[in-house]
Amino acid sequence: MKRYGNLYPQIIEFSNIYLSAKKAQRGKRFRDNVLEFNYKLETELFKIQQELKDKTYQPGSYRTFHLRDIKSRLISAAPYRDRVVHHALCNIIIPIFERSFISDTYANREGYGTHKALRQFTKFSRASRYILQCDIRKYFPSIDHEILKQLIRKKIKCKDTLWLIDTIIDNSNEQEEVIHYFPGDDLLTPIQRRHGLPIGNLTSQWMANIYLSGFDRFIKEQLKASKYIRYVDDFALFSDDAQFLKEARIAIENYLTQLRLKIHPIKSQLFETKHGCSFLGFRIFPETIRVRNSNLHRARKRLNKLQKDYAQGKISLQDVMRSINSWEAHLKHGDTWRLRQQIFNSLSFTRN
């Protein structure tokens, strides 16, 4: 396997850092911290560059909040200048690792995404009798730092780049507590091994793909699963042979122990596809695709908030239309014509 060196000069090149600032501010240009940073843009960028050159760079403190969706998740927001550094690193690193990813993993990859994943999932579901659908339990909080660093070092040998990567990993803030025991552990092992990555980081997203890249190849090359798809920590195998999927589950659970991961005992199930499969906010049946009720409920809450924010002058009509068009485009991936008419024809936006 080829290992890459001499990457750090590309990372700390001023043009790369400047490009990273432009990427980091997309959709956030008018936030106070971004405006403050941009007011002294060149000074701030040169300061980042110098800190990276001298290796005096240290990440700042995270701002954390809980996103209450179907389940509560701890989201960590890094300071803006750290997000610029994350982009500078990812601009150079991601293309290297992209070449080793299989085409059946869809999250956080350019040219892939939720809608392409949904189409492939639907295709597999309608062409197969059975599905083994799994969810990795507390995935981001469970990612083991030492294992992750070893996996990254299989591709990267540039010492300076590894220093920056390790600095970002080591400064991960405390995540949700995970106590998992694996063969060879003693009572204190789960506490002593550092684990967990902040969900909100760009670096965490591609590290999450790196962490399961070998697992993806195991599914395809060792288990010979021709119909497989993964989106972050949700993955599914499809087949007309139920026994193959039963044996695959056992092999999957054994493999994941190497990564100190476990699949969710309740959410991971083997069943017939004719009963419908939930994936990325939709429910896929042999003849139709419906929006999940929980997803629809969240959407209605977001639309109500849009109406209130517009009425109070917090957002512009352009912002409103952007959000509505995005949501409508998402709904179009299901059989939702009547639903869209019902929702959008009844909307009204007025100023107080």
Q: Which 3 state secondary structure label does DSSP give 304?
A: helix
Mean pLDDT of 130-155: 96
Residue with the bigger pLDDT between 246 and 40: it is: 246
- Does the CA dihedral 328-334-337-343 come out positive or negative? negative
Assess whether pLDDT exceeds 90 at residue 327. Answer: no
pLDDT at site 52: 97
How crowded is residue 14: how many other Cβ atoms within 10 Å of its Cβ? 12
Model-wide pTM > 0.85: yes
Q: What is the pLDDT of residue 277?
A: 94
Instruction: Judge whether residue 44 has pLDDT over 70.
Output: yes
d(CA 256, CA 252): 6
pLDDT of residue 70: 54
**Torsional sign, CA 232, 122, 116, 327:** negative
Task: Provide mean pLDDT across the span 38-60.
Answer: 94
Structure tokens at 15: 């043009």
Of 210, 265, 30, 246, nearest to 132 by C-alpha is 246
pLDDT of residue 127: 96
Whole-number pLDDT of residue 69: 58
pLDDT surpasses 90 at 244:
yes
Rounded to the nearest integer, the mean pLDDT of the chain is: 90
pLDDT band of residue 242 (cuts 50, 70, 90) is very high
The sign of the torsion formed by the CA atoms of 22, 24, 26, 28 equals negative
User: From CA 278, how far away is CA 197, in angstroms rounded?
Assistant: 26
Whether 251 has a pLDDT exceeding 90, the answer reads yes
Using DSSP bridges, classify how beta strands 234-239 and 269-272 pair: parallel, antiparallel or unpaired. Answer: unpaired
336 pLDDT higher than 90: no
Mapping DSSP to helix (H, G, I), strand (E, B) and coil, where does residue 2 land?
coil
Q: How far apart (Å, rounded) are the C-alpha atoms in residues 51 and 62?
A: 19
Q: Kindly provide the residue ranges of all beta strands, DSSP E only, lying in 192-296, ordered along the sequence.
A: 228-231, 234-239, 269-272, 277-279, 282-284, 289-291
Tell me how long the chain is: 352
88-114 residues labelled b (16+ CB within 10 A) or e (exposed): bbbbbbbeebeebbeebbbbbbeebeb
Q: Are strands 269-272 and 130-135 parallel, antiparallel or unpaired?
A: antiparallel
Token pair of 210 as six digits: 């790196």
What percent of the chain is modeled with pLDDT above 90? Answer: 64
Split at pLDDT 50, 70, 90, the class of 109 is very high
DSSP-based three-state secondary structure for 133: strand
**Which pairs with CB-CB distance under 8 Å and at least 24 residues apart come from 292-299?**
294/70, 296/339, 298/69, 299/327, 299/343
How many whole angstroms separate alpha carbon 217 and alpha carbon 211?
12
Question: Which residue did the predictor score with more confidence, 71 or 349?
Answer: 349
